[in-house]
Amino acid sequence: MCAIAGILYKNGKRLNYSTGEALNRMLEATLHRGPDSAGWALYHDPKDERLRLCFYIPRSKVAKDVIADIQKIISDLGAEIVEDNFIGCIYMVKLKCSIPVRKLYQSFKSVAELFSIGTRLDIIKDVGQPEDLAPLYSINDFDGTHGLAHLRLATESGVHANTTHPFWAPGFADICTVHNGMITNYWIMRRRLERRGMEFLSNNDTELIAVYLAYKMSQDVLLEDALKSSLDDFDGTYSYLVSTPDSIGFAKDKLAAKPVVVYEDDNVIAISSEEVGLNSLFPGQTLETTEQPPLTYGIWYRA
C-alpha cells in the first residue's frame, strides 16, 4: 500500500496555499499508507529554457568529491552553472546548456545518479516522512503549475532514497511517474525495453512505467495512446499517475484495487489515493469526487 497524489492548475489560479503545500496536505492526510519514504515531482513555471538537474548524492564523506566531479564534467561539456544547491541527498543544478538531454545524461552515468533532468521538473525524494522532509527541501515554497507526490510502503525493493518515487525515464526530460501497486511482469517488460535501447537505474517497477511511456512517446505515440496500451502490456494490480510539462495522466488496471479519487472544478484537478486527501484541501466543504473505474485511463491538461 502506497499513497499517490497530484495537483494541476488549469488557468494559473491557485488555492489558498502553495502547490507544494497542497501536495503535502494530501500526503499528510494519507500517512498511514506509506511509512518508509516520500517524494515530489515539481513542475516550475517556464521562465527560461535552462536545464534543471537533480543528482542523488549518498550521504557520505565523499559527497563533496562527487559534486566536484559533476562540476568538472559540466565545465568540460562547455555548459555553465547558473545556480546550484546541495540539500540532504540531492544536488540541484540549473544549467545554461544546449546539449541534448540524452547525451547529458550519458555524460554523468559513471559519476552520479540523476533523479531528473528537464526545463520544468525537479524530483525531490528521500527516506523519511513529509513532516521532516518537506521543511528540509523547502517543498512548501514551491508554487509551480502542477506536481505529483508519493508515500511509499516498500515491497519489491529496499528503503533507499533512490528507490523512492517519483521516477523519471533516464534521458527523457520532464516525464515522471508515481504508482500504487505492483507490475508483476516487470522483468519481461524491462528486457523488451532494454532490447530497444532503453535504460534503467533501479529495479523498481514504477521506473518501468516511466521508461515504457517515454519509449512509446519517443516513437511518436501520443501519451493518451501509450496509457491505453499500458493496460494491455502491464500485468498486476496498479494505479499510476504520469506527469509531463503540461499534463497529468492516469491509468488503472482491471481489478481496480488501488484507488484513484479525483476532485475537479474550473481551476484545479486534485488526485489522491483516498477521499480524505482531497478533503484536506477544502476543509469543511462537501466535495463531489469521482473514483476512477476499472481498466480506465485519461489525461488532464493545463489551459
Q: Among candidates 184, 286, 192, which has minimal Cα distance to 236?
A: 184
Which parts of the chain fold into alpha helices (H)?
19-29, 63-76, 101-108, 130-136, 186-195, 205-218, 223-233, 275-279
Active site residue 97: no
**Alpha carbons 213 and 89: distance in angstroms, whole number:** 27
> What does the angle CA 291 – CA 252 – CA 208 come to, to the nearest 5 degrees?
145
User: What phi and psi, each to the nearest 5 degrees, are found at residue 70?
Assistant: -60, -45
Q: Among candidates 286, 5, 52, 21, which has minimal Cα distance to 149?
A: 5
Farthest CA pair distance, the chain: 57
Residue 144 corresponds to which cell in the numbers above?
A: 509551480
In the 8-state DSSP scheme, what is residue 93?
A: E
Catalytic residue among 2, 54, 89, 176: 2
CB 57 within 8 A of CB 91: yes
Catalytic residue numbers? 2
